[in-house]
Amino acid sequence: MALKAIQALGGSLPLECVGPAWLWTASAEALHLPVPGRIQEVPCLGGIEPRAIEYGKVSEVWGKIAMECVRAAAEACMRGSAGAMITAPVTKEGIHLAGYDCEGHTDFIAGVTNAERHAMMVSAGPLRVVLATVHQALRDVPGALTADGIFDTIELAREAGTKMGIAQPRIAVCGLNPHAGESGAFGDEEEEIILPAIHAAQLNGWAVSGPHPADSVFRAAREGTYDFVIALYHDQGMIPVKLIDPDHGVNLTLGLPIVRTSPAHGSAYDIAGKGVARHGSMVEAITVAARLAGIG
């Protein structure tokens, strides 16, 4: 996917691939694609000898390669030798096998860059969705939500909007329960956790509303009523984004001191190495990162 995206961009951006040159070369040759012209080796991976690549296989070795490449790219951005980083999807099983205590790129990159707070924003077409919680079991979500945490997510969305040139970003906050709780009939999280966060944001003069029923707010956002939607758990926000434009979604990490984007889809191990992965989201992720970093 990354190699196809690089080919599609045709040298229009100064892209550098991170990781073992033998791995990039072998992958390019297997897929009958050009070998990248600029490859940054990762010193700590030098002891990993070239081997036959088993596409679609989860292992400790590939988990380590993935995460150390992510670390190297983030550190390059922190040094100023790179203007932005774009990550490909990783499998959580692989990084856990390799011994990394994180739930994915986002938490890992936040640790590398010492970001005090961060949030995952996914966008597709007119939708910009920021997640208040990300990779955790659905049964754990209510206990993970706090008024302070939701407020921070709102603030990060607002900061992103102003950087995008939106003077007063309009932010809608989803409810957790059906019908946004319907005044406590279906749960009390709206009254006890979500509304206090919204009221605190409104006291700052921000254009924040909710909690809105999740089954209707995304359509309103798509039609232009809101600039951002705060979703309270992973699938609440990801399903509408992937439904609207599954081939061009972008994941942007808010709150980092660097620019980081990624395609808004998973690792697709079932088609790995076959050369059939759609690369539109990766092209879009690269383009968005370059624009935010002022490159090209």
My answer on whether 14 and 55 are in the same domain is: yes
103-116 pLDDT tens trace: 778 889 999 999 98
Classify residue 255: in a domain, yes or no. Answer: no
Question: What pLDDT was estimated at residue 105?
Answer: 82
Cα–Cα distance measured from residue 56 to residue 72, given in angstroms and rounded to the nearest whole number: 24
My answer on whether 62 and 172 are in the same domain is: no
In this prediction the pTM is 0.90
Cα–Cα distance measured from residue 229 to residue 14, given in angstroms and rounded to the nearest whole number: 33
228: domain CATH number is 3.40.718.10
48-96 pLDDT tens trace: 877 767 777 888 888 899 999 999 999 999 999 999 999 988 888 888 8
Q: 216 by DSSP, 3-state: which?
A: helix
Q: Is the confidence at residue 296, as pLDDT, over 70? A: no
Cα–Cα distance measured from residue 8 to residue 10, given in angstroms and rounded to the nearest whole number: 5
* Banded pLDDT at 208 (limits 50, 70, 90): very high
My answer on whether 64 and 157 are in the same domain is: no
Strand spans (E) along 2-63:
17-18, 39-40
User: What average pLDDT score do residues 282-288 get?
Assistant: 93
Task: Name 230's bridge partners.
Answer: 130, 173
Could you tell me the residue range of the domain that residue 176 belongs to? 126-244
